[in-house]
Structure 1
Amino acid sequence: MKLILKILKWIGKILAGFIIILLMSGLCFRLFSSKPVPPGKLVDVNGTKLHIRAEGQKNDFPTLILESGAGNDTDVFHWIAEGLKKNMRVVRYDREGKWFSESSKDSITPEFYARQLHSLLEKNGEKPPYILIGHSMGGPYNRIFRDLYPNEVNGMVFLDSSHPEQWKRLAENGLFEKSQISLIKTLAVLSDMGLMGVYNSINNPKSMDEDLPKECQNRKHNLTTYSGKVYRRYLKENNINNAILSRASQASNLDSLPVLVFTAKKQYGDPEKWFEMQKELKNLSTKGKHFYIDANHGSIITKKENAEKIYREILLMTESID
């Protein structure tokens, strides 16, 4: 019995020592790691600093506004922006609380983000007309913007975009399942403690955006390990998702607005139901065009050859707009 107690005591000391080393490693990571630097600039909009990247010369073409999905950053549009900024003005940004943007203290309503983006564009000296380009949940956000400011939008592009009825028709619960939410909360805590940074420094995990340049991969990697902010913003996006989709459903008529819909052929859920909803996005306008790309939901924009197909069609649409 004494031997067993002695063994348990030594195991306890070893575990305690391991935990102390782990916590000290995380603390050192937080103290000595550099805060990630945004690739764009921060613009104050009603007390909230929003990250914006505006490239290309202002000319007679409409300005392109790139709206990312629920969890993505501005770098996912790298190849599309690179292909278009030589011809026109291209704007990317992070919604409040996402990636390099500060969290807003204002009350969040379904129309809040469209109005905040409108203010951001004005503060940065951007002027309409705009072409709105949205990937995934970026599509519904853009539908709300167009509904509020119809005279400022000359065209819309949906990139494997979300549909207001997608969760019901795909029989899914939303952006994240309960088990995923628990995992995200845990990752947020581990990142705040510096432990995610320590883990990634040792293991150097493979990037999910391997089709993007290394600089873009590293920027996302650094920000997700620096603190738990990115993970907590995922949870906020999950909480407001249904309200955003519901408000977007009210923007059900785009009249004769030029519209391009790009759909990824490789889908995780029921592809036929997804393709049906994508066709409905095209039919929002009498001038809608639909394209299928051999890609999944992410690589439709992060893979260079897919982005090239997309920005060539955007150029053609832009040139055809009076």
Structure 2
Amino acid sequence: MNLFLTILKWIGKILAGLIILLLISGLCFRLFGSKPVPPGKLVDVNGTQLHIRAEGKKNDLPTLVLEAGAGSNTDMMHWIAEGLKNNLRVIRYDREGKWFSESSKDSITPEFYANQLHQLLEKSGEKPPYILAGHSMGGPYNQIFRELYPNEVKGMVFLDSSHPEQWERLAQKELFSESQIVLVKTIAILADMGIVGAYNTIFKSEPENDGLPKKCHIRSHNLTAYTGKVFRRYIKENDINDKILFRAGQTKSLDSLPVLVFTATEQYKESQKEKYRSEGIDPDKQIEIWYKMQKELKELSTNGKQFIIDANHGSIITRKENAEIINKEILLMAASIK
């Protein structure tokens, strides 16, 4: 019994020592770590600093505005912007609270983001006409913008976009499950304490092999290590997701607006497929439903086109070869708009 208590005592001392070491490491990271620098510029919109990246010369073609997905950022659109900036004016930005943009203290409505983007474009000296291109949840955000400013939008591009009815028709019912939210909240606290940054400094991880340049991953790595804001924004996005989808779903027609829909072939990893099967859900049926919803996005307009790309939900834009397919069609659309 005495031996058992002695062992427990030493285990306690070791754990206490590790915790103290983590706290000291985190404090050192917060004191001496460098603050990540945004690649674009910050523009004040009603007291909120929003991050925007504007590239390419203004010309007679419409300006392309890129809208990232729920857990995404301007770097995810790297190859789209790189491939088009020599021909078009290309705008990337982070919604409030995301990545390098400050969190807004205003009350959030589904129309809030469209209005805020409109003000950001105006304050940055950008002028319509616009082509809106949205990846994942970026699609519904763009639908709301077009509904509010129809005369300024001359084309829309859906990049494996979310569908207003996806939670009703798919097995997944939200962006993040309760267990994922708990994990995200925990990581946010650790990031604020500097522990995530200290860990990343000591145990250097290899960038994800998704096709993006290493500098994009390093920037993301540094920002998520420096602050828990990014992770808390995931939770906020989860909270407002249903309202955004519902508001976007009020758009029943885009008339004859030029519309491009790009759909990825691979929607689920094998682990996700196995999880669905264990729950009695047929993943192949889920993919069929996704394809049907993608077709419905195309059919919002009498001038819609759909393209199937051999990719997953992320690599449809993060791999250069996929972005080149998308960029070719966007250029054709832009040239056709008078």
Normalized against structure 2, the TM-score is what? 0.93
* In structure 1, distance between residues paired with 2:71 and 2:314: 11
User: Separation in 2 of the partners of 1:163 and 1:293?
Assistant: 18
Aligned to 1:284, the other structure's residue is in SS state: coil
SS of 1:260's partner is strand
- Cα distance in structure 2, aligned partners of 1:51 and 1:302: 20
Residue matched to 2:294? 278
Counterparts of 1:276 and 1:2, CA distance in 2? 67
Q: What code does the residue aligned with 1:117 have? A: L
**RMSD of the TM alignment (CA)?**
1.1
Instruction: Give the drift of 1:209.
Output: 5.7
Mapped pair 1:260 → 2:276: no
* Residue identity (%): 74
Q: 2:334 aligns with which of 315, 318, 322?
A: 318
Who is 1:304 aligned against? Answer: 320
Question: Counterpart of 1:299 in structure 2: which amino acid?
Answer: S
Alignment pair present for 1:61 and 2:61? yes
- Match of 1:139? 139
Is the 1:265–1:295 Cα contact (8 Å) retained in structure 2? yes
> Which residue is equivalent to 1:84?
84
Q: Distance in 2 between matches of 1:225 and 1:287?
A: 44
- Quick check: 2:80–2:327 contact (8 Å CA) kept in 1? yes
Contact 1:209–1:217, Cα closer than 8 Å, also in 2: no
Kept after mapping to 1: 8 A contact 2:30/2:194: yes
For 2:76 and 2:6, locate their aligned partners in 1 and report how far apart those are by CA, in whole Å: 55
CA shift digits 1:220-277 (9 cap, x unpaired): 0101111111000000000000000000001121000000000000111521100000
Secondary structure of the structure 2 residue equivalent to 1:294:
strand
245-254 vs 268-277, greater mean Cα deviation: 268-277
Structure 1 residues 159-205: Cα deviation after superposition (integer angstroms, max 9, x where no partner): 00000000110022210111111111111111111111122223322
Q: Deviation at 1:29?
A: 1.1
2:72 maps to which residue? 72
Residues in 1 aligned to 2:312 and 2:195: alpha-carbon distance in whole angstroms: 31
Q: Work out the CA distance in 2 between the residues paired with 1:179 and 1:208.
A: 23
TM, length-normalised to structure 1? 0.98
CA distance in 2, matches of 1:303, 1:11: 47
Deviations, residues 58-99 of structure 1 (Å, cap 9, x unaligned): 110000000000010100111110111101100000000000
- Give distance in 2, aligned partners of 1:242 and 1:249: 10
Unmatched 5+ residue regions in structure 1? none
**Counterpart in the other structure of 2:271:** none
Does the Cα contact within 8 Å between 1:70 and 1:234 map onto a contact in 2? yes
Unaligned runs of 5+ in 2: 269-282
Q: Which amino acid aligns with 1:279?
A: K
8 A contact 1:29–1:194 mirrored in 2: yes
Contact 2:224 2:230 in 1 (8 A): yes
Q: Which moved more, 1:201-210 or 1:49-58?
A: 201-210
Tell me if the contact between 1:210 and 1:217 (Cα under 8 Å) persists in the aligned partners: no
Q: Which runs of 4+ in 1 moved over 6 A?
A: none
Aligned residues, how many? 322
AA aligned to 1:58 is K
Q: Which moved more, 1:179-188 or 1:157-166?
A: 179-188
* In structure 2, distance between residues paired with 1:3 and 1:321: 81
